[in-house]
Structure 1
Amino acid sequence: MTSPRRLLSLALAAPLSLATAACGDEAEGAPEGDVIAPIAAPEGQNWGETVAVSDADGYVLGNPDAPLKLVEYASHTCGGCANFAATGKPGIEEYVATGVLSFEQRNLVRDPIDLTIATLVRCGPEENMQILSDQAWENLSATFASVDQNSAAYEAAGNMPVDQRFIQIAQAAGLIDFFAARGLSADQQRQCLSDTETIERIANNSAEQSEELAINSTPTFLLNGRKLDVSSWDQLEPILQRAGARRE
């Protein structure tokens, strides 16, 4: 795992080798139980639109008091995470709608592009974070292609002051235009990408939680605090069902 200081100061190298990250840790077990009855959202609310930032600086979708709490540690330059966003998120949203399951996305930062995207998806309203993350994963191949095409500008970012570095990375990766088309103005993005305090916090939280929880691969899932030995939706869904979750 790259240290926060290294993420902020390294001479940048092309991240294409990170497109397929290693997956899976030794399982510590998963909860099992009877089917849990749906839990209604407060009047006028919808669990699928309820988002909060957790004490771990993750973004929680759904009932904050859900009996089943699913956490994903993800990297924005991880092909496995991109695959889960495409294949698993629709099913996750159906379980979240019941109020029985909440889904929290946390960062496991691997490289400067990952940190840049992690900063940008947090730049707007809280409820947009996971939506923008999924769209960025869908665009991952195009992001890598832009970095290849603009490799000189990307590498030059490593010599720039920190408050300018991630703006340069975003420009080289085609991210400024990408997120501008999704509601984040270029000026808003540049302001977020020059906020070194926030960027350092994202990197530090990633490093500290990775060490504390022994998480070194993405995607890694935890259910009610227990690490799961799965990396795909078809492996994860049966575990949710055994724990008592059902779709509406």
Structure 2
Amino acid sequence: MTVRNSLKFALAAPLALALAACGGEADGDAEADVIAPIEAPEGANWTDTVTVSESDGYVLGNPDAPIKLVEYASHTCGGCANFSQTAKPSIKEYVATGVVSFEQRNLVRDPIDLAVATLVRCGADENMQVLSDEAWNYLPQIFENVQQNSAAYEAAGKAPVDQRFIGIAQAAGLIDFFAARGLSADQQRACLSDTAKIEAIADNSSEQANELKITSTPTFILNGRKLDAIGWNDVEAALQRAGARQE
């Protein structure tokens, strides 16, 4: 989804953002042997280790973990917000073993989503998933802000490209929200006016969605295979079948 098409879609129906949960491929593999924990390098902790993948995703944990879990997520997706709230503490327990890594990738659905995706990447790499989780907790207020500021939101779509996402973020209440979490307003505006980076996020999302046939969020991929999973119980069962250590 390009920036232009993303804006056109969302400005036509700015609050019609819900997508059905993804139906992936059935995971019928036999249960693997449990994989022993892998120690982090001296002085490091896997739950504090973040790297950016070749797919422009943010990987939490051992980048060479034998079990690699990927979530394609949208920041305006209620199901993604629920997964963030219910699953992340447990995911970090698996990540801490060094056996599982968790990579978050963007599937961009609308300009608000793209603005949030830009802002969570605006600071240090290790803060991306943390800020994403906090933004998902704030999602109901984001929707309310857009409803209350609908004229400003629609006007942002007509602004010059380098000002467009600043206006969207302001209408959604994102500038104040992220400023309270360590990203200054000036820092945010610089990121939101960097059209090349914003285009890259949108283009990566579109290309990967087309390549992997991902049409909705959240979608989970485990060791390269799309899961038939819509929530943490299904995802955890797949991790354990793959050999993740069970406490």
Provide the TM-score with structure 1 as the length reference. Answer: 0.95
d(CA) in 2 for partners of 1:63 and 1:198?
26
User: Contact 1:25 / 1:215 at 8 angstroms: preserved in 2?
Assistant: no
User: Contact 2:24 / 2:229 at 8 angstroms: preserved in 1?
Assistant: no
Shift of the 213–160 alpha-carbon distance from structure 1 to 2, 3 Å rule, reads same
Q: Alpha carbon RMSD of aligned pairs, Å?
A: 1.4
Superposed displacement of residue 14, structure 1: 4.7
User: Contact 1:12 / 1:157 at 8 angstroms: preserved in 2?
Assistant: no
> Over residues 189-217 of structure 1, what are the superposed CA-to-partner deviations in whole Å (9 max), with x where a residue is unaligned?
00000000000000000000000000001
User: Contact 2:7 / 2:110 at 8 angstroms: preserved in 1?
Assistant: no
d(CA) in 2 for partners of 1:162 and 1:9?
13
SS at match of 1:92: helix
Aligned to 1:85: 84
User: Contact 1:47 / 1:62 at 8 angstroms: preserved in 2?
Assistant: yes
SS at match of 2:41: coil
SS at match of 1:16: coil
* 1:66-85 matched pairs, under 5 angstroms: 66-85=65-84
User: Contact 1:8 / 1:162 at 8 angstroms: preserved in 2?
Assistant: no
Match status 1:25 vs 2:19: no
Superposed displacement of residue 234, structure 1: 1.3
Shift of the 242–11 alpha-carbon distance from structure 1 to 2, 3 Å rule, reads closer
d(CA) in 2 for partners of 1:33 and 1:10?
44
d(CA) in 2 for partners of 1:123 and 1:169?
16
Shift of the 30–206 alpha-carbon distance from structure 1 to 2, 3 Å rule, reads farther
Match status 1:97 vs 2:96: yes
Aligned to 1:107: 106
d(CA) in 1 for partners of 2:198 and 2:7?
9
Superposed displacement of residue 62, structure 1: 0.2
Superposed displacement of residue 4, structure 1: 4.1
SS at match of 1:88: helix
Letter in structure 1 aligned against 2:191: C
Aligned to 1:127: 126
> Over residues 100-130 of structure 1, what are the superposed CA-to-partner deviations in whole Å (9 max), with x where a residue is unaligned?
0000000000000000000000000000000
Superposed displacement of residue 9, structure 1: 5.8
Superposed displacement of residue 30, structure 1: 6.1
SS at match of 1:145: helix
User: Contact 1:4 / 1:207 at 8 angstroms: preserved in 2?
Assistant: no
SS at match of 2:157: helix
The count of aligned residue pairs is: 246
Provide the TM-score with structure 2 as the length reference. Answer: 0.96
d(CA) in 1 for partners of 2:14 and 2:60?
29
User: Contact 2:21 / 2:217 at 8 angstroms: preserved in 1?
Assistant: yes
User: Contact 2:2 / 2:199 at 8 angstroms: preserved in 1?
Assistant: no
Superposed displacement of residue 164, structure 1: 0.1
> Over residues 150-200 of structure 1, what are the superposed CA-to-partner deviations in whole Å (9 max), with x where a residue is unaligned?
000000011101100000000000000000000000000000000000000
User: Contact 1:124 / 1:184 at 8 angstroms: preserved in 2?
Assistant: yes
d(CA) in 2 for partners of 1:15 and 1:56?
28
* 1:117-156 matched pairs, under 5 angstroms: 117-156=116-155
Shift of the 10–221 alpha-carbon distance from structure 1 to 2, 3 Å rule, reads closer
d(CA) in 2 for partners of 1:161 and 1:60?
34
- Using the aligned pairs only, state the percent identity: 71
* 1:44-59 matched pairs, under 5 angstroms: 44-59=43-58
d(CA) in 2 for partners of 1:37 and 1:231?
27
Superposed displacement of residue 5, structure 1: 3.4
Gaps of 5+ in 1: none
* 1:1-248 matched pairs, under 5 angstroms: 2-7=1-6, 12-18=11-17, 20-29=18-27, 32-247=31-246
Letter in structure 2 aligned against 1:29: D
SS at match of 2:33: coil
> Over residues 54-102 of structure 1, what are the superposed CA-to-partner deviations in whole Å (9 max), with x where a residue is unaligned?
0000000000000000000000000000000000111100000000000
